[in-house]
Chain A
Amino acid sequence: MDLNLTDEQRLLRESAERFVAESYDADHRRKMANDPLGFSPAVWTQFAELGWLALPIAEEFDGLSGSAVEIGILMEAFGRGLVSEPYIATIVLGAALIERCGSTAQKRAILPKIADGSLKLALAHSERAARFDLAKVATTAHKTAQGWRLAGSKIAVLDGHAADEIIVSAHIHDHQGPSARIGLFLVPATTPSVAISDYERLGGGRACNIELSDVQLPKDALLGNGHDAQPAIEWAVDRAMAALGAEAVGIMQVLLDTTLEYTKIRKQFGRPLSANQVIRHRLADMAVQVDEARSMALRAALKVDADPVERARAASGAKAKIGRSARFVGEQSIQLHGGMGVTEELEVGAYFKRLVAFDTLFGGSAHHYGRHARLGRTTVPA
C-alpha cells in the first residue's frame, strides 16, 4: 500500500497546473465559448508535445503506459482551467476502447496517431430510449457481403463534431439473425449517410447527435473479432467517470477558493461576509465536500483495474458522491456571491455549469447510487 505521489507524478501535476495557469485564462475561455470548434487545435498540439495524449497508451504503440492516477492529476488541472479540448472523448474513452477491443492491426494504425495528435476519436454509444443504461442499444449492425450496414440514432456524443473517427456501438445481426452481442464500429466522420448535428455543450466544449441511415462500412470497421463489447464499454465509462470526477474536483476547488476570497472582501452591515458564522460554516461544509470528492476521485482511479464489480462500485460511488458534492459546492458558490453569482460577468457561473454537465454525464447521482446498490447486493430478491 502506497499513497504518496511519485516524483514523476509530482512533476506532471506541476506542469499541468502551470500550463493551465499560463495558457488557459478567462480570455481564452471566452474565446473558446464562441468558437465553432469549441477548442483550440494549437492547444491540442501542445498536449501532444507535452506527452499528455500518449499518457495512457501502451508503450508498444508509442504511448507512455500511464495509469489512471496520472490521468486524474491531469484532469484535476484541466478542471481548474475549464479546459474544453476533447481529452475524455479521444484519450480516456476512445484510445482505451481501441486498446482493449481493437485487433493488433487496428491498434497499430490508430494509437500512434492519437499519441501524436493527428487523430481524434469520439464514442457514440448513448441513445435516447436507453437513458443511462449502458446495456441498452437499439442501433443495429447487419452483416453484408461487403462488410456492415449500420442504422440508428446516437445522442450526447462528446466532441463527435471534431472526431476523425467515431466509435459507434451497435447490436450485431449476422447470418443467423440478431445476436446478443454489441459490436464497436469505427466510422470515419466523412462516411456518407452519417449526419452529425453538433451543439454547444453546457459548461464548455461541444457535443452532437448522430443519425446513421444505412451506413455502409467495410469488414474491418468492426473493432476486434466481434466478441460482445458490452463489458468493455462499462469498463471504459467507469474509467471516464473516474477521470471526470478528478476534473470536477479541480472545478470545485476553484469555486471554493474564489468564493472564499469574495466573502473576505465583500462587506455588508459594515463587516466582511466571512465575519458571519453562518457563512463560515457554509464554507467549511464546502471545504469538507471538496476534500471528500478528492478522496472519491482518487479511490475510483486506484480501482479502475480491480475486478469488474469492485471497479464499477468505486466508479459509481465516486460519480454519485462527487455529483452531489459538485451541486452543493456550485450552488453555494453562487449563493454566497449574491446577485453577481447569477450573472455572466463573473466566471462562477461557467464553473457551475461545467459541474452541472458533469453530474449529468453518464447518469446523475440517483442513477449511480442505484447502480452501486444493485451491484452490492449479496442476495437477489426472490
Chain B
Amino acid sequence: MDLSFNAEERAFQDEVRGFIARNLTDEMKRATALTPSVFSDPDIGMAWQRTLHKQGWGAPGWPVEHGGPDWTPAQRWIFETESARAGVPNVNVMGVKMVGPVIIGFGSPEQKNFYLPRILSGEDYWCQGYSEPGSGSDLSSLKTRAVRDGDDYIINGTKIWTTHAHHANRMFALVRTSDGPRQQDGISFILIDMKTPGITTRPILTIGGDHEVNQVFFDDVRVPVANRVGEEGKGWTYGKYLLEFERGSGIASAKLREGLKAIADLAESDLTGRAIDSPDIATRISEVEVDIDALEMTELRVLAALQTGQNPGAVSSILKLRNSEIRQAVTRLGVDVIGHDALAVEPMRPLYKLNHEPAMPEEMLTVVPEYLNGRAYTIFGGTSEIQRDIIAKMMLGI
C-alpha cells in the first residue's frame, strides 16, 4: 500500500493542474467561492461543464463507450482533489452523477443515444423529482401518479425540494404507475421535459436566504411512454441505485478540506482578531480536520474496492452520514470563528453580483448562509436517521 503518487500519477496531476489553470476564470472562481448554497448557478456550473467536455472529462465516472475518460481510481481521486483545491464550480450533478448512471445502466439504446451526449455537453440541465410533501423519508409512499393513455402517461401530483427546477429543462422522476400490496412495486422511473404543458414551479426560499429548491406541480402532464426508463413498476430499484451513487460515489473529503481551510484561514487572520489563538477554536479545527482525514481514507478504501465497477452499496450510507455531519461541523465552526460579523445579514443574491459594499469582509459573506442552508445536508438524500437504518440493516443485519 502506498498513498503517494507514482510518476504517471504525478504527470496526470500536472496535466489536471495545467488544465484548470488555463480554463478556470477568476470570475468562475469568485462566483463559486461566493455561493452559499449547495449548487453553483447554472451559468457558472454549465460553463465549466462545457470546458470539461471539450477536454473529454465531462463525466469522470462513466464508461468509455459513453464518453467517460477511462481513468484509474487514482486519476479520479487526483481530478476531484485538484478541482476542489482550485475551487471549480459544481457541475449539474443531477445529470452527470445521478440520471446519467441510471440511463447507462437501465436505459434503452435510444435513450442512451439521445440523453447522454446532451448531459456531457451541458445542453440539458436536469432536476430530480423524488420527494413529495407527504413522502419524505418514506419515499416509496409517493403519490404522484402516471396513468397510461395510449402511448403516453398522464401525470398528476406534486414534487418538492426540487433543486434548480427553475433552471432545469428536464426532470427525472419517480411516479406511481400501479397500486400493489408493496408500495415499492408500483413505481416507475420517468424522464420529463420541463416545458411540457401542465408543469408549474413554485420557489421555496431556504433559511440562508437562497432560492435553490422548489415545489413542482403536475396537472395532466402528458409524457410519452418511451420516456420511461427500464420496466414499468421497477422504478424503485433504479431509484435506489441512483441514491447509492448520490450518497457514495463522490469524493467529498477534498471539498470539505477546502471548506475547512477557508475557515482556518479566517481564524488565522486579523479579520477575526486571530480566533485561532483561542485553544478551543484551534482544537476544534483539529477535530474537524481529523474527521476529514478519516473520511478521506474511507473514500480511498472504497475507491480501491470499486475498481471493478459495482455500485457502492451500504458503505455509501457511511460516507453520506459522515460527509453531511462533517460539512455541518465546518460551517458551525465558521460561525464561531467570524464572531461579531455573524450578526450581519446580506440578503442580496447572487452574492458574486453584489453591487454595494457589504457590512462584513467579503471572505465572510457565505459563512452564516452556509451554516443555515447546510442544515439540509443531514436531511436531503435520505436523512441521517434513514442512513443509520440502512447501515443497521445492510451492514449489521438487524
Q: Which A residues form the contact surface with B (CB < 8 A)?
A: 1-5, 9, 69, 260, 263-264, 274, 277, 280-281, 283-285, 287-288, 291-293, 295-296, 298-299, 302-303, 314, 317, 320-321, 366, 369-370, 372-374, 376-379, 381
Contacts and interface: CB of A to CB of B under 8 A. Distances in A.
A333 to B, nearest CB: 14
Given A1-B2, A1-B6, A292-B294, A281 B282 contact: no
Residue among B289, B290, B318 facing the most chain A CB atoms (10 A cut-off): B290
B298 A274 contact: no
Contacts of B21: none
A321 B294 contact: yes
Contact of B1 (A3, A314, A369): A3
Contact of A284 (B3, B283, B396): B396
B388 A296 contact: no
Contact of B322 (A264, A277, A288, A372): A288
Contacts of A277: 389
Contacts of A4: 1, 304
A372 to B, nearest CB: 4
B268 interface: yes
Interface stretch (B92-100, B162-170, B183-191, B271-279): B271-279
Interface in B299-342: 300-301, 303-304, 318, 321-322
B268 A379 contact: yes
Nearest to A325: B294
Given A69-B1, A317-B293, A370-B283, A284 B304 contact: no
B293 to A, nearest CB: 6
Residue among B274, B298, B318, B389 facing the most chain A CB atoms (10 A cut-off): B298
Chain B interface, DSSP helix/strand/loop, else mixed: helix
User: What are the 4 tightest A-B residue pairs by CB atom distance, in nearest-first order?
Assistant: A295-B297, A280-B392, A3-B304, A284-B391
B321 A280 contact: no
A284 B286 CA distance: 25
B290 A296 contact: yes
Contacts of B277: 381
19 contacts: A1-B5, A3-B1, A263-B398, A281-B389, A283-B392, A284-B388, A295-B295, A295-B297, A296-B297, A298-B1, A299-B293, A317-B290, A321-B294, A369-B290, A373-B279, A373-B283, A376-B289, A379-B268, A381-B274
Contacts of B4: 1
B294 A281 contact: no
Contacts of A287: 318, 391, 395-396
B291 interface: yes
Chain B interface size, as a band, is 35 or more
A5 to B, nearest CB: 7
A288 B289 contact: no
A281 B293 contact: no
A320 B289 CA distance: 12
B298 A260 contact: no
Interface in B384-398: 385, 387-389, 391-393, 395-396, 398
B3 to A, nearest CB: 5
B115 interface: no
Contacts of A374: 282
A239 B91 CA distance: 42
Nearest to B303: A3
Given A281-B392, A320-B287, A369-B290, 4 more contacts: A1-B5, A281-B385, A296-B297, A370-B286
B298 A372 contact: no
Contacts of B322: 288, 292
A164 B389 CA distance: 53
A302 B392 contact: no
A317 B285 CA distance: 12
B15 interface: no
A82 to B, nearest CB: 23
Chain A interface, DSSP helix/strand/loop, else mixed: helix
A369 B286 contact: yes
A291 B268 contact: no
A150 B391 CA distance: 56
Nearest to A1: B74
A348 to B, nearest CB: 17
A69 B322 CA distance: 25
Contacts of A366: 283
Interface string B48-85: 00000000000000000000000000100100000000
A378 B268 CA distance: 8
Contacts of A2: 1-2, 74, 304
B388 A280 contact: yes
Contact of A302 (B2, B5, B74, B388): B2
B9 interface: yes
A320 B283 CA distance: 11
A366 B282 CA distance: 12
A376 B9 CA distance: 27
A2 B300 CA distance: 9
A9 to B, nearest CB: 8
Nearest to A69: B1
A93 B389 CA distance: 42
B398 A280 contact: yes
B167 to A, nearest CB: 35
Nearest to A292: B294
B34 to A, nearest CB: 24
Contacts of B290: 296, 317, 320-321, 369, 372
Contacts of A1: 2-6, 9, 74, 77, 300
A280 B286 contact: no
B6 A298 contact: no
A370 B281 CA distance: 11
B64 to A, nearest CB: 21
B274 to A, nearest CB: 7
Contacts of A285: 388
Contact of B293 (A260, A274, A314, A373): A314
B269 to A, nearest CB: 10
A283 B1 contact: no
Nearest to A4: B304
Contacts of A376: 285-286, 289
Nearest to B390: A284
Given A69-B1, A260-B398, A295 B9 contact: no
A82 B73 CA distance: 36
Interface string B346-382: 0000000000000000000000000000000000000
B293 A377 contact: no
Nearest to B281: A373
Interface in B96-148: none
B294 A295 contact: yes
Contacts of A317: 286, 289-290, 293
Contacts of A263: 398
B392 A291 contact: no
